[in-house]
């Protein structure tokens, strides 16, 4: 067994996975530590084009905590990747230097296609592959959403879009609860992105949809009426689109106080889950229509880019396999 660590730093949260990997055996993972901290690194980036000093402070504090855990559990190798919010900011060098000083490794600012490929390899572990069915993995983050399509043979198509729960909250859904005009604008922009996605990958061929990341798992927790956030129950849960849409509508139109009172709700998602739920519901409705009713359910996976990253570290892969856009 090889013990490795991976950190995924996104627009809304930063996450750590320390795991033991069975290599060169089955390649199976055994979690040692899995953590998530909402740091809102991308707060205001859509307007300012840079990380704020407070967002960097929150993120560096989390990196300090994760570095201590990595030392405590004696991980043999570490990989740190940063995604959407970190790609285009003007003070990216400050972020990179701060992480390297704390962790000892330089963060990789990965492209959307690589992020999608890593997410696919982690997410599809929820499936019992028994055919060459076409699967779409949707990684709905804070600043971007990745779409990656493939089969049991691996990822075939991928693309990244600039829509996410933080970005759309700041851009469209500022009222508590959001007004219908705000929801309509967010829905219109989501559909515009989806039409672009359909131009670069054959969405009409999809048979199975898997959603990953906090928005999807929170909507799933709501639909399952959980009394607490239970990752084991959420992982692999397959819901009808009707059940998902009912939860989407309730989350969109709840006030922030009502969302905060939901027992499964992470405090860092209270103000952005409405926008995230709207995006997820719009995606599923679009997929149902473009597949002429073939897509009728959605599966939630707790395994995502972190699991893919851990495997890449254990195999000493400098980067995930690229897939076509």
Q: Tell me the per-residue pLDDT of 277-308, one tens digit each, with 9 for 90 and over.
A: 999 999 999 999 999 999 999 999 988 888 88
> What's the pTM?
0.79
Whether the predicted pLDDT of 192 surpasses 50: yes
Q: Six-digit token pair at 208?
A: 């199975």
Top CATH class of 2-109 equals alpha beta
Over the stretch 108-123, which tens digit does the pLDDT of each residue have?
887 767 777 777 877 8
- Beta-ladder partners of 300: 211
Q: What is the Rg, in whole angstroms, of the alpha carbon atoms belonging to the chain?
A: 19
Q: How confident is the model over 244-249, as a mean pLDDT?
A: 97
Residue 19 · residue 30 · CB < 8 Å: yes
| 125 band by pLDDT with thresholds 50, 70 and 90 | confident
| 84 band by pLDDT with thresholds 50, 70 and 90 | low
| 44 band by pLDDT with thresholds 50, 70 and 90 | confident
DSSP string, 235-287: TT-EEEHHHHHHHHHHHHHS-HHHHHTSTT--GGGTTTHHHHHHHHHHHHHHH
- The CATH 3.30.420.40 portion of the chain extends over 2-109
Over the stretch 53-70, which tens digit does the pLDDT of each residue have?
999 999 999 999 999 999
- The CATH 3.30.420.150 portion of the chain extends over 127-301
Whether the predicted pLDDT of 189 surpasses 70: yes
**Alpha-carbon gap, residue 244 to 314, rounded angstroms:** 36
Residue 227 · residue 241 · CB < 8 Å: no
Top CATH class of 127-301 equals alpha beta
């Amino acid at each position: 067994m090889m013990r490795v660590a991976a950190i995924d730093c996104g627009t809304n949260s930063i996450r750590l996975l320390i795991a033991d990997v069975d290599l060169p055996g089955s390649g199976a993972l055994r979690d040692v530590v899995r953590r998530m901290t909402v740091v809102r690194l991308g707060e205001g980036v859509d307007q300012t084009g840079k990380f704020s000093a407070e967002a960097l402070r929150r993120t560096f504090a989390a990196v300090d905590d994760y570095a201590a855990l990595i030392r405590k559990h004696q991980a043999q190798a570490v990989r740190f990747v940063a995604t959407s919010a970190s790609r285009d900011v003007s003070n990216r060098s400050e972020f990179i230097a701060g992480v390297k000083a704390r962790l000892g490794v330089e963060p990789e600012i990965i492209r959307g296609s690589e992020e999608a490929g890593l997410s696919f390899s982690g997410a599809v572990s929820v499936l019992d592959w028994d055919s060459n069915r076409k699967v779409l993995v949707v990684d709905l983050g804070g600043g971007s959403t990745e779409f990656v399509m493939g089969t049991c043979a691996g990822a075939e198509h991928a693309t990244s879009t600039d829509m996410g729960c933080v970005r759309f909250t700041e851009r469209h859904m500022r009222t508590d609860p959001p007004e219908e005009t705000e929801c309509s604008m967010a829905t219109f922009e989501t559909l515009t992105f989806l039409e672009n996605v359909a131009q670069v990958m054959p969405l009409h061929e999809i048979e199975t949809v898997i959603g990953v990341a906090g928005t999807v798992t929170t909507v799933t927790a709501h639909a399952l009426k959980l009394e607490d956030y239970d990752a084991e129950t959420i992982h692999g849960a397959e819901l009808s689109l009707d059940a998902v849409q009912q939860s989407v509508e309730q989350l969109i139109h709840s006030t922030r106080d009502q969302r905060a009172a939901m027992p499964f709700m992470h405090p860092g998602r209270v103000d952005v889950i409405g926008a995230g739920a709207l995006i997820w519901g719009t995606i599923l409705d679009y997929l149902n229509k473009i597949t002429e009713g073939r897509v009728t359910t959605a599966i939630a996976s707790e395994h995502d880019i972190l699991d893919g990253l851990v495997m890449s570290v254990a195999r000493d892969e400098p980067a995930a396999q690229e897939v076509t856009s």
